[in-house]
């Protein structure tokens, strides 16, 4: 089978948030994936495509693969099961958006400047859309969020996803107060 040419992982940083957008690894490429995560300091991974690797191997290295329990988003929770997949080329379902934003709010309030990795199959659609939503929720205009991501990830976000982002109405769930005062109620609701 021919090896698929996939873009290298890219870091997207904005305010106190850092994201690593990447393609999905397989068990055969997992060691390189883990090296990339460590290089960028990512200790949390969100998988929005079908399972292609054993997450236990990442967890051995102290990297949490976030999974979802219906109605709850609890990073590092012991009783969680499942993943966050949604259809390739499609915008994310509302539940995935809610869980994603809840995860980021908790993660970046507790550890500003930390890095959250997110991947889909090629790292060009589903993962960049979630990062765009985070940027929009933190105050960036949707056009600027798309341009910001595409500067680092050429070809990211298809026309159906662009329409979704254009129509998306943020609730400012990722607007953070003074970045150095994060230990005392860092998030504005």
Question: Is 88 designated active site?
Answer: yes
- To the query of whether residue 120 is one of the catalytic residues in this protein, the response is yes
- CA-to-CA distance for 59 and 173, rounded, in angstroms? 29
| Euclidean distance between CA atoms 80 and 58, whole angstroms | 16
> Which range has the worst mean pLDDT, 28-32, 107-111, 162-166, 185-189?
185-189
The single residue of 36, 83, 88, 111 carrying the catalytic annotation is 88
Whole-number Cα distances in Å, 53 to 26, 47, 56, 90, 95: 5, 10, 9, 23, 24
Q: For strand 10-14 and strand 17-23, is the pairing parallel, antiparallel, or unpaired?
A: antiparallel
pLDDT at 7 over 90: no
Q: How confident is the model at residue 37 (pLDDT cuts 50, 70, 90)?
A: very high
Beta-carbon count within 10 A of 100 CB? 25
d(CA 81, CA 76): 11
Which of 49, 73, 115, 120 does the annotation list as catalytic?
Answer: 120
pLDDT in tens, 131-154: 999 999 999 999 999 999 999 988
pTM of the model: 0.80
Q: How far apart are CA 121 and CA 127, in angstroms?
A: 9
User: Is the distance from CB of 174 to CB of 100 less than 8 angstroms?
Assistant: no
pLDDT-derived band at 69 (thresholds 50, 70, 90) equals very low
**What is the pLDDT averaged over residues 95-112?**
88
In tens, the pLDDT along 76-86 reads 433 333 457 77
């Amino acid at each position: 089978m021919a090896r698929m040419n996939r873009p290298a992982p890219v870091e997207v940083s904005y305010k106190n948030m850092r994201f690593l957008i990447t393609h999905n690894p397989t068990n055969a490429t997992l060691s390189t994936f883990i090296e990339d995560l460590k290089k960028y300091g990512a200790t949390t991974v969100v998988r929005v495509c079908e399972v292609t690797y054993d997450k236990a191997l990442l967890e051995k290295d102290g990297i949490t693969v976030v999974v979802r329990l219906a109605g709850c988003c609890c990073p590092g929770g012991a009783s969680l099961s499942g993943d966050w997949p949604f259809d390739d080329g499609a915008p994310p379902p509302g539940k995935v958006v809610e869980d994603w934003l809840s995860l980021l709010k908790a993660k970046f309030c507790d550890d500003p400047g930390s890095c959250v990795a997110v991947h889909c199959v090629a790292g060009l659609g589903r993962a960049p859309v979630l990062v765009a939503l985070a940027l929009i929720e933190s105050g960036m205009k949707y056009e600027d969020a798309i341009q910001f991501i595409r500067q680092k990830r050429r070809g990211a976000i298809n026309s159906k996803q662009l329409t979704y982002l254009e129509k998306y109405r943020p609730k400012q769930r990722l607007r953070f107060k003074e970045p150095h005062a994060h230990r005392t109620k860092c998030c504005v609701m």
